[in-house]
Amino acid sequence: MKSSRLFVLLGMGAFLVVAISGAFRHTQASPSLDEKFVLVVHGGAGNWKDESPQQLDADKAAINKAAETGYKILAGGGSSLDAVEATLRVMEDSGLFDAGRGAYYDRDGVPELDSAIMNGRTLSAGSVAAVKHIANPISLARLVMEKTPHVMIVGEGAEQFAKSQGIELVSPFYFYNEHYWKLYQEVKAKEKNKSAHLAGNERKVYGTVGAVALDQAGNLAAGTSTGGTPYKMTGRVGDSPIIGAGTYANNDSCGISGTGEGEFYIRNTVASDICARVRYLHVSLQQAADDVVMKELVAQKGEGGIIGLDPQGHVATPFNSNGMLRATVRSDGQITVRVFADSSAR
């Protein structure tokens, strides 16, 4: 009797050792970064190989400055929402990207701007679309989120709301950009010999800007701002201001900002799809993002990329174009700026 009890005890002990060992191996296989805070920024995907070295250097300097701005907010204990907004205001003001002061012209020769921001803690969101007199659409999008019961306001209604909030409307001449004005004139001239769709896609650099942040309280936020595609139809709205398409954040899964051919991002609800895969399929952010951007969009010939960030601080920046300008900064303060593929991305 005693020997049989001893055998049972020994067997249970062996089982416990195996169970503990198995649990240890599982923990080791899925390490958590446990970052205090992280900020990821993008300046658009597309054919970056056509950019001149001088232009590329200027763009890199601008996104570095934007990342520094957001980093200071996060390092000081500020919210991910504040970091995203401030980071994107720098990008909008630079005049170097397809956002704010550097936005592309539509067929009427006027920039129309779209933007969105989302709070991953509360799932509240705000966006504006087709605005023509707003210097910083990302800030107006945040006001929509915080000061109205709505998610999206467009056109004149958005600008009326801006005035009610004390935002000064700017002249369309504020957005004058010599480089993009010349591009507009070139594309307009070519329209006589090409379809409108082809004419509007002459320059395949999608200079949309976006940011995703994880703050010290563990909250995610995402934001995106754009002027859309070159020579777009007046009133066209892309994916950037559409929650779930080009912008999404949820503390239970991830934060995403997209850049590329917006119609594909809308049809595939790219941003929310990636986060849903993380949440419900329990796959890594990297796998979810790769499956959507590198497989599904590629199969549909939808060009672009995303920046993504999960609650543990893991970053994913897949793109299927030849480049995507992006920057990452963590709590150590080191800003990494990249344009082309690099397997050493953190």
With beta carbons less than 8 A apart as the criterion, state whether 107 and 116 touch: no
CA distance 170 to 157: 16
- Would you call 68 exposed, middle or buried from its count of C-beta atoms within 10 A (0-12, 13-18, 19+)? middle
**Both structure tokens of 341:** 């593929």
DSSP 343: T
CA distance 115 to 191: 28
- What are the backbone angles phi and psi of residue 6, rounded to the nearest 5°? -60, -40
Residues written for the chain: 346
Give the residue numbers annotated as catalytic, written as ranges. Answer: 208
The residues facing 307 across adjacent strands are: 257
Whole-Å CA distances, 105 to 67, 83, 175, 313:
27, 28, 9, 37
With beta carbons less than 8 A apart as the criterion, state whether 127 and 242 touch: yes
CA distance 106 to 234: 6
CB atoms within 10 A of CB 274: 30
CA distance 152 to 98: 20
Helix, coil or strand: residue 200? coil
DSSP string over 280-340: HS---HHHHHHIIIIIIHHHTT--EEEEEE-TT--EE--BSSSEEEEEEEETT--EEEE-S
With beta carbons less than 8 A apart as the criterion, state whether 106 and 232 touch: yes
With beta carbons less than 8 A apart as the criterion, state whether 249 and 222 touch: yes
DSSP 239: S
Amino acid of residue 5: R
The residue behind tokens 């990494």 is: 336
